[in-house]
Amino acid sequence: MSSRASLTTSGMIAVSKDLLNNPVRRAILERNALTAALIVLIQAAKTNLVKLSRDEGELRQRLQEIIAELARRDQIHDRVARGMYRGLESAADCAASPELAAPFIAARDSLLPEGLSINMMSYLDQSGNAVRVAERATPAIRDVLSQIQMGAQNLEQVLDSWLENAAVMGELVSERSTLRGDTDETRVSANDLRMARIRWIQVINTLLSTLNLIDIPADDRRRLLSNLQAAEARAAKTRPGEQRTTESTTDPAIPNATDDAPNHDPLPIADEPDLESLLAVEEERV
């Protein structure tokens, strides 16, 4: 893999911005009709990288938030399910007679017939199961729950909070599916950014080929390409297993690049997780 392909997306953006905005380098490009014609291509490649990487960065941030929130709400689901199940059992155990205990056992078996195995379900199944629990919570069962005080709340209020928590879990799972592209074919994908990176490399390769065809002083060529060459040299020195990892056109890490990317050294090396890695987090909890 070439060192050019090893540049981070933000590094590519920074190199492009330097070529376009640095007065000395811009003047060198404009000096010859062939290189001047490439300015619009460099700008287009840079703009595309900025837009896609920004969109992808926003998606990645939201996905991280969803993963964290689902984990938090899963803990609530599991903890409260245990509390309701055991609360009904405790009420039955403390009843003065089997007859008085029967409504509590019946409520437990009606609401949670699978017992605490529901805590082993996926996020989506937990949300769907909660819908079934809500349908089973008849007025008679709710009356039984309201008799059991759990701290500042009775068990009926605890149930309603639990159902609301599960409903939000379902909404988060749906949003996560949208970010994955399961239901939205228009979302920015890793392949979109990969193709934009390939396009940028093609434009830079065209610039280098053009410089070989025209009569350009050696000093001008050095000034024009110094930032690109420095960035490529740093990328070439990076090795697998180091703390900082480079991104490639085949498996890019996607930094949250903006139009404010630096036009000076040092150019950045990616150290953030890519979106596809995040999509694999807790894959079993679909």
pLDDT in tens, 227-264: 999 989 888 876 444 444 334 343 333 333 333 333 33
Q: If you average pLDDT over each of 60-74, 168-182, 251-265, which comes out highest? A: 60-74
Please give the residue that has the higher pLDDT: either 51 or 132: 132
The average confidence (pLDDT) of the chain is 82
Q: Is 154 helix (H, G, I), strand (E, B) or coil?
A: strand
- What are the helix (H) ranges across the chain? 9-21, 23-30, 33-36, 39-94, 98-111, 123-136, 139-146, 155-180, 190-213, 218-237, 275-279
pLDDT band at 54 (very low <50, low <70, confident <90, very high): confident
Distance between terminal CA atoms of the chain? Answer: 35
Least confident of 50-59, 96-105, 232-241: 232-241
Q: Is 246 exposed, middle or buried (0-12, 13-18, 19+ CB in 10 A)?
A: buried
The string of pLDDT tens digits covering residues 196-208 is 999 999 999 999 9
pTM: 0.56
Which is nearest to 231 in space by CA: 259, 202, 201, 209? 201
pLDDT of residue 206: 96
Q: How large is the average pLDDT for residues 154-178?
A: 94
Residue 4 scores a pLDDT above 50: yes
Select the more confidently predicted residue: 274 or 172: 172
Distance CA 13, CA 261 (A): 7
Predicted confidence at residue 277, as pLDDT, reads 52
